[in-house]
Amino acid sequence: MQYSHKSKRNMLLFPKWACALMLLGTLGVLRAEDAVIYGTTPGTKASGPTTLTPASQTTASVEATKGTVSEPGSTSRSTVSAQSDSPSLSVNDQPITQVVLAATEDIVVKEPSNFAWKRKIVTTTFWVGQDANGYNDTTNYKSAWDANWTETFGGTDNPTQRFGFLPKGRFAVTQNPFYVALPFNDVKFPELARKWVPWYNKDFAKNNPYVSQCKGRWVEIQSQSGKVCYAQWQDVGPFRYDHAAYVFGKERPSTFNRAGLDVSPAVKTMLGLCGLDQCDWRFVEAWEVPHGPWITYGEQAILMAAIKRREQDKKTEAASGNTASTRRVSSRSTASTASAAD
């Protein structure tokens, strides 16, 4: 079967990080709460944070035989049709925009998302563990959705002492260093979330009122020089927390400096930003995010978080075992003393 270069780019296969997560899940090293993949999982409708699918459910097989594929966004056990002399892959003689290997032996044909671009948005920089400064009294030791953000991240994401896209320091980063803040908090303003958030799920919100449906969503950012970066929404700001009409609508930022996007040091470095630059940004689905450092470092962070959790569990188990052993020895000693007294 012949594919054009363009067709290869349109084929979205399991990346290396997904394979690594499945392997760790099989070995019992990675637990679901250690590897939360936010956004829309291929073949599912967005309903808030989506946990990693167990490895037993992620076996995908594709039959390269003629057949049909269901409508975009739906799943089917039908097969892909492709003519060997055709320069591009096709389904019922129609070009495939995206072919995603789903986690249930199905093929899902998905159209690109249609989230609108926010153009020429003043962009500022912030970081995990940031202190207050002269123009902003907000600290970033915690985020709007994580009271222990600095600890969860692994330490302070120092913007001046860097090693590539990571901060220098004697700690392992346990979250994706490519992150952003946008001025809306869906947990604090549920009515606005219900009105504006396009992926809002009322059942999820009812059962999880204090869990954000925005945290972890992916965004694509373009600098005015044409550089591109992808990052995850992890905090709220700059300055405002209720500007849903801008984040999801057509309004413009209304802060004193017109800033509407905060980016992490890694994003700043990737885009080559300095000062109050302007960027374009938009939401994208998780399956649209191409491979890049935002995936590479995210993979490493997830794996490190799983390893650290495993080590902590072992320490807890060992401590519990020592306590139980001490109690047994103490009980036997008490019994022997009582027997001797008799």
For residue range 1-32, list pLDDT tens digits in order: 443 444 444 444 445 555 555 555 544 544 44
In a domain, 332, yes or no: no
Classified as helix, coil or strand, 114 is: coil
Specify whether 136 is located in the same domain as 100: no
Model confidence pTM above 0.85: no
Answer whether residue 87 shows pLDDT above 70.
no
Q: How confident is the model over 256-286, as pLDDT tens digits?
A: 889 999 999 999 999 999 878 999 999 999 9
Domain ranges, residue 261 = 118-293
Of 21-35, 189-203, 244-258, 328-342, least confident by mean pLDDT is 21-35
- Which pLDDT score, from 0 to 100, does residue 203 have? 96
Structure tokens, 108: 């899902």
Answer whether residue 228 shows pLDDT above 90.
yes
Domain end marker among 48, 77, 109: 109
- Which pLDDT score, from 0 to 100, does residue 296 have? 86
Task: Give 77's pLDDT tier (boundaries 50, 70, 90).
Answer: very low
Structure tokens, 305: 């978080």
- Which pLDDT score, from 0 to 100, does residue 299 have? 78
Residue 149 sits in a domain whose CATH number is 2.40.40.10
Query: Nearest CA to 181 among 139, 224, 137, 215?
Result: 215
In a domain, 99, yes or no: yes
- Which pLDDT score, from 0 to 100, does residue 303 have? 78
Query: How many domains are contained in the chain?
Result: 2
The rounded distance, in Å, linking the Cα atoms of 265 and 282 is 19
Amino acid at position 138, single letter = T
Q: How confident is the model over 308-324, as pLDDT tens digits?
A: 778 888 888 888 876 66
Across residues 238-265, what is the average pLDDT?
94
Cα distances (angstroms) measured from residue 222 to each of 177, 212, 227: 17, 26, 6
In a domain, 328, yes or no: no
Answer whether residue 244 shows pLDDT above 80.
yes
Q: How confident is the model over 190-216, as pLDDT tens digits?
A: 999 999 999 999 999 999 999 999 999
Domain end marker among 80, 109, 138: 109
Specify whether 230 is located in the same domain as 153: yes
In a domain, 322, yes or no: no
Answer whether residue 116 shows pLDDT above 50.
yes
More confident residue, 339 or 69: 339
- Which pLDDT score, from 0 to 100, does residue 136 have? 54
Specify whether 168 is located in the same domain as 86: no
How does the average pLDDT of the chain come out, rounded? 72
Specify whether 71 is located in the same domain as 148: no
Answer whether residue 104 shows pLDDT above 80.
no
Across residues 31-42, what is the average pLDDT?
40
The rounded distance, in Å, linking the Cα atoms of 183 and 254 is 10
Domain end marker among 59, 79, 109: 109
Cα distances (angstroms) measured from residue 54 to each of 30, 129, 288: 10, 33, 22
CB 312 within 8 A of CB 319: no
Of 105-119, 153-167, 235-249, 271-285, least confident by mean pLDDT is 105-119
